[in-house]
Amino acid sequence: MSVKITYFVHGTTTDNEVGVASGWSDVDLSDMGVQQSKDLPKLNTEKFDVVFCSDLKRAVHSAELSFKDKFPIIQDARLRECNYGDLNGKNSKIVEEREIDAIANGFPNGESYQDVEKRMRDFLEEVKKKYDGKHIAIVAHKGPQLALDVILGGMTWLEAFDKDWRKFGKWQPGWEYNLE
Read off the pLDDT of each residue in 121-141 and give the average, rounded to a whole number.
98
For residue 34, the tally of other CB atoms under 10 A from its CB is 16
To the question of pTM greater than 0.85 for the whole model, the response is: yes
Q: What 8-state DSSP symbol labels residue 105?
A: S
97 is catalytic: no
- The catalytic residue among 61, 81, 99, 141 is 81
What value, to the nearest 5°, has the Cα angle with vertex 134 and ends 129 and 139? 90
Range 71-96 average pLDDT: 98
Which residues share a beta bridge with 90? 21
CA pseudo-torsion sign 162, 140, 170, 88 = negative
Are the C-beta atoms of residues 19 and 92 closer than 8 Å to each other?
yes
Return the closest-CA partner of residue 140 out of 159, 155, 124, 153: 124
Q: How many residues does the chain have?
A: 180
DSSP 79: G
Residue 133 confidence (pLDDT): 98
- pLDDT grade, residue 78 (50/70/90)? very high
Residue 15: is its pLDDT beyond 90?
A: yes
Domains detected in the chain: 3-168 (3.40.50.1240)
pLDDT > 90? residue 155: yes
Name the residue type at position 5: I
9 pLDDT more than 90:
yes
42 contact partners, CB below 8 Å, separation of at least 6: none
* Whether 141 is catalytic: no
Q: Pick from 81, 77, 70: which is nearest to 137 by CA?
A: 70
Q: 179 with 2: CB under 8 angstroms? A: yes
- At residue 93, the pLDDT reads 97
* Cα–Cα nearest to 62, from 92, 83, 80, 35: 35
Q: Estimate the crossing angle of helix 57-67 against helix 31-43, to 10 degrees.
A: 40
Among the options 10, 61, 99, 117, which is catalytic? Answer: 10
